[in-house]
Amino acid sequence: MRIPLERHSSKAVYLQIRDRIRRLIETGALQTGDKLPSIRALAENTGVNKLTVIEAYNVLEADGLIAARPGSGYFVNPTLQPKSVSNFAPPQDVIVSEQPPPYPFEEAKSGAFFNHYMASLQARSSPGMIDLSSGFPSDSGLEDLPRIARRAVKQVTGSLFNYDNPQGQLMLRQQISRMLVQQHGMNVTPEDLIITNGSKQGLSLVVHYYVKPGDWVIVESPTWHGMLSLLYSMGARVIGIPMTAEGMNLELLEKNLYTYRPKLIFTVSTLHNPTGITTSQAHRQQLLQLAERYDCVILEDNAYEGLNFEPVPAPIKALDRKDIATYVGTFSKTLMPGIRVGYLVVTGKHYQPLVERKLLDDLHVSTVSQAIVSEYLASGHYRHHLAHLQAQHRQSQTAMLAALQKYFPPSASWTVPNGGTFLWVQMPAVPMAEIYQQALSRGVFVAEGTPFFPGQQGYPALRLNFTLSPDKIERGIAVLGELVQAYLSRTA
Ligand X SMILES: Cc1ncc(COP(=O)(O)O)c(C=O)c1O
CA 405 from centre of chain: 22
Beta strand 264-267 with 216-221 is: parallel
The one segment of 140-148, 176-184, 198-206, 384-392 that binds ligand X by CB under 6 A: 198-206
Chain residues 202-231 in contact with ligand X, contact rule CB under 6 A: 224, 226
Alpha-helical regions (H) of 262-380: 281-293, 316-319, 351-362, 367-378
Chain residues 349-368 in contact with ligand X, contact rule CB under 6 A: none
- Beta carbon of residue 468, minimum distance to ligand X (angstroms, whole number): 17
Chain residues 154-193 in contact with ligand X, contact rule CB under 6 A: none
Nearer to ligand X, 226 or 417 (CB): 226
Residues 6+ apart with CB under 8 A from 101: 107, 232, 233, 235
- C-alpha neighbours within 13 Å on the C-beta side of residue 416: 24
DSSP letter (8 states) at residue 35: B
- Beta carbon of residue 443, minimum distance to ligand X (angstroms, whole number): 23
Helix (H, G, I), strand (E, B) or coil at 326: strand
- Beta carbon of residue 33, minimum distance to ligand X (angstroms, whole number): 37
- Beta carbon of residue 65, minimum distance to ligand X (angstroms, whole number): 28
Bridge partners of residue 325, in order along the sequence: 298
Nearer to ligand X, 81 or 278 (CB): 278
Q: What is the CA radius of gyration of the chain?
A: 23
Please give the Cα distance from 311 to 325 (Å, whole number).
Answer: 22
Please give the Cα distance from 332 to 349 (Å, whole number).
Answer: 28
- Beta carbon of residue 270, minimum distance to ligand X (angstroms, whole number): 10
Nearer to ligand X, 65 or 195 (CB): 195
Please give the Cα distance from 479 to 34 (Å, whole number).
Answer: 30
Nearer to ligand X, 53 or 205 (CB): 205
Bridge partners of residue 28, in order along the sequence: none
Nearer to ligand X, 344 or 403 (CB): 344
Residue 330 is a binding residue for ligand X (CB under 6 A): yes
Please give the Cα distance from 341 to 468 (Å, whole number).
Answer: 24
- Among 332, 398, 405, 418, which residue interacts with ligand X (rule: CB under 6 A)? 332
Nearer to ligand X, 330 or 370 (CB): 330
Nearer to ligand X, 81 or 197 (CB): 197
Nearer to ligand X, 226 or 460 (CB): 226
- Among 16, 133, 169, 199, which residue interacts with ligand X (rule: CB under 6 A)? 199
Nearer to ligand X, 48 or 303 (CB): 303
- Among 43, 53, 265, 268, which residue interacts with ligand X (rule: CB under 6 A)? 268
Q: How many residues bind ligand X (CB under 6 A)?
A: 14
- Beta carbon of residue 327, minimum distance to ligand X (angstroms, whole number): 12
Degrees (nearest 5) of the Cα angle 469, 475, 481?
130
- Beta carbon of residue 349, minimum distance to ligand X (angstroms, whole number): 25
- Beta carbon of residue 333, minimum distance to ligand X (angstroms, whole number): 7
Q: Are the CB atoms for 345 and 199 separated by under 8 Å?
A: no
State which residue has the least CB distance to ligand X. 198
Bridge partners of residue 414, in order along the sequence: 425
Please give the Cα distance from 232 to 106 (Å, whole number).
Answer: 10
- Among 135, 137, 276, 451, which residue interacts with ligand X (rule: CB under 6 A)? 135
- Beta carbon of residue 275, minimum distance to ligand X (angstroms, whole number): 11
Q: Are the CB atoms for 60 and 4 separated by under 8 Å?
A: no
Site string for ligand X, 288-307 (x = CB under 6 A): -------------x-x----
- Beta carbon of residue 420, minimum distance to ligand X (angstroms, whole number): 9
- Beta carbon of residue 479, minimum distance to ligand X (angstroms, whole number): 24
Please give the Cα distance from 313 to 297 (Å, whole number).
Answer: 20
Nearer to ligand X, 303 or 484 (CB): 303
Please give the Cα distance from 186 to 433 (Å, whole number).
Answer: 42
- Among 173, 200, 284, 463, which residue interacts with ligand X (rule: CB under 6 A)? 200
CA dihedral (341, 347, 352, 354) positive or negative: negative
Nearer to ligand X, 65 or 231 (CB): 231
Please give the Cα distance from 436 to 421 (Å, whole number).
Answer: 19
CA dihedral (287, 292, 295, 300) positive or negative: positive
Residues 6+ apart with CB under 8 A from 323: 347, 348, 349, 350
Residue 337 is a binding residue for ligand X (CB under 6 A): yes
> Where along the sequence are the contacts to ligand X (CB under 6 A)?
135, 198-200, 224, 226, 268, 273, 301, 303, 330, 332, 337, 342
